[in-house]
């Protein structure tokens, strides 16, 4: 993603219902420092959070999955490291989208739910981070909060990593009905439309 200081971008975070308009303050060592145009202390930003950054360049809308590496409440800035970028040029459809979505996760057959955040997602798989410690090949139940709806799906953990803040899991989604597939597909379409409209209106 090509951005420079002074460019306006949007941020999508699980604690905010709408994209957050921000300005790129500086770029140093692959880290973007952005300054939201309004006080972000009303949101729950934490280091290690996934953030989706939207930007328009040469008439093309880009979305980047980022890792939040720093929060400075004194000067109202966030530091982001871009992990991957999706382009919608020529109306190309992508299977996997960068996201920042809240969800509840529990081991199959148990009652205790754990908080988790999705980093990227497709109809058939999801990368999520959580402080809960699951095992590879374990089956889980997932409640995904998408706008005003909650989607209930099952999943199986196929890989596991650990970083400074939490565990990171790769999960295969298991759909028992077409409803959950269609709801996820609808969410992706809405995410794309929302980002495109917001970026164009606020650039």
Residue 42 confidence (pLDDT): 66
DSSP alpha helices (H): ranges in the chain? Answer: 178-202
The angle at the Cα of 68, spanning 133 to 19, to the nearest 5 degrees, equals 110
Per DSSP, the three-state class of 82 is strand
Helix segments in 31-124, DSSP class H: none
Contact indicator for 9, 22 with CB cutoff of 8 Å: yes
Please identify, among 49, 74, 95, the residue that sits at the C-terminal boundary of a domain: 95
Please state, in angstroms and rounded to a whole number, the distance separating the CA atoms of residues 139 and 126: 14
**Which ranges of the chain have pLDDT less than 70?**
1, 42, 88-94, 147, 199-200, 202-203
- In terms of domains, do 114 and 85 share one? no
Residue 194 lies in a domain: no
Q: What's the predicted TM-score (pTM) here? A: 0.83
Strand partners for 200: none
Q: Which residues contact 182 (CB under 8 A, 6 or more apart)?
A: none
Report how many domains make up the chain: 2
pLDDT score recorded for residue 203:
58
Instruction: Quote the domain boundaries for residue 133.
Output: 97-188
The pair of three-digit structure tokens given for residue 7, joined into one six-digit string? 């460019």
pLDDT at 62: 81
Say which CATH number the domain at 59 has.
2.30.110.10
Do residues 29 and 80 share a domain? Answer: yes
pLDDT score of 200: 67
Q: Does the residue 198 lie in any domain?
A: no
For residue 79, what pLDDT is reported? 95
CATH number at residue 139: 2.40.10.220
The reply to whether 182 and 166 lie within a common domain is yes
Q: Which of 47, 78, 95 is the last residue of a domain?
A: 95
pLDDT tens digits, residue range 85-97? 877 654 445 478 8
Do residues 149 and 136 both lie within one domain? yes
Which helix H or strand E contains 126, and what residues bound it?
A: strand 125-130
């Amino acid at each position: 993603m090509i951005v420079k200081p002074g460019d306006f971008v949007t941020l999508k975070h699980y604690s905010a219902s709408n994209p957050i308009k921000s300005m790129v303050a500086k770029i140093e060592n692959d880290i973007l420092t952005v300054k939201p145009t309004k006080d972000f202390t009303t949101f729950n930003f934490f280091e290690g959070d996934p953030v989706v950054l939207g930007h328009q360049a040469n008439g093309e809308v880009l979305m980047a999955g980022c890792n939040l590496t720093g929060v400075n409440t004194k000067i109202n800035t966030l530091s982001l490291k871009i992990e991957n970028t999706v382009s919608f040029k020529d109306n190309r459809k992508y299977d996997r989208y960068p996201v920042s979505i809240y969800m509840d996760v529990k081991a199959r057959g148990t009652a205790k739910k754990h908080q988790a955040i999705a980093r990227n997602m497709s109809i058939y798989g999801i990368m999520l981070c959580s402080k809960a410690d699951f095992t590879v090949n374990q089956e889980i139940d997932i409640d995904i909060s998408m706008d005003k709806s909650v989607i209930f799906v099952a999943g199986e953990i196929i890989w596991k990593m650990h970083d400074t803040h939490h565990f990171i899991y790769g999960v295969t989604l298991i759909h028992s009905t077409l409803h959950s597939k269609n709801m996820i597909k609808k969410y992706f379409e809405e995410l794309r439309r929302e980002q495109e409209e917001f970026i164009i209106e606020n650039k």
